[in-house]
Amino acid sequence: MANEWLERWREGRIGFHRETVHPALLRHWPALDVAAGGKVLVPLCGKSLDMRWLVEQGHPVLGIELSSEAIEQFVSEGAGEVSRYRQGHFDVCRQASIELWCGDFFHFHIDQAHEIGVFYDRAALIALPPAARQRYAFHMAQLLLPGARGLLISLTHGSGPDKGPPYSVDHAEVQRLLSPNFELTLLEERPPDERRWRESVWSLVRRGPGRE
């Protein structure tokens, strides 16, 4: 899985990347009622322009991405000086209010997440194969304190083999993976697009007791 992801970035096969801010983020982020200044965790962030939009709303961003190619493209397409340093298992690039941590999301530790109170998952859960999604859901729960809020965008496909990424993650699986540790609210379900993908948007609130 990791090697395939890195190869996609090296070869420029990044059809999943959006050249505009995701419309669902624009529609639903205000409803989370997150105070300005809350740091947003964006797992498996790629070079998403959504991160720049979040900064414009007053939120520092911490993005985690396996591909150094994605990170270098992001900072080269941005403005401002870039500082670089090492943090645990990660090489970190910082540009303005955005920190991009290059490495395996599962190596991101609780101690490194103490400032995180908000998260945004546009392409993380749906980028992972079935065997990794349970681990992802548990790891997210361990990183966040009770009351932490987030926005999740999931995709389901009507039929055919699931050869992702992106993978089809239906409502039942979202509930099974996340409801033990998060209060879930389905905010929106879009009609299928031309490729028969149906997009759903969820708000999440971390239940107690929080980190262990």
Chain segment 45-78, per-residue pLDDT in tens? 989 999 999 999 999 999 999 889 889 999 998 8
CA dist 101 and 121 (Å) reads 16
Distances (CA, A) of 127 to 7, 31, 39, 52, 146: 15, 25, 23, 21, 26
Positions at the binding site: 9, 44, 65, 122
CA dist 46 and 64 (Å) reads 8
* pLDDT of res. 194: 78
Distances (CA, A) of 48 to 35, 59, 83, 104: 22, 15, 19, 17
What domains, with CATH codes, occur in the chain? 2-206 (3.40.50.150)
* pLDDT of res. 58: 94
Positions at the binding site for S-adenosyl-L-methionine: 9, 44, 65, 122
Mean pLDDT, the chain, whole residue set: 88
* Amino acid at residue number 205: V
Q: Is the confidence at residue 206, as pLDDT, over 70?
A: yes
| 204: nearest Cα among 143, 130, 141, 142 | 141
The answer to which of 9-13, 54-58, 111-115, 146-150 has the lowest mean pLDDT is: 9-13
Chain segment 118-173, per-residue pLDDT in tens? 999 998 999 898 989 999 999 999 999 999 999 999 999 876 556 767 899 999 99
- With 0-12 / 13-18 / 19 or more C-beta atoms within 10 angstroms meaning exposed / middle / buried, residue 83 is exposed
* pLDDT of res. 16: 57
CA dist 61 and 97 (Å) reads 6
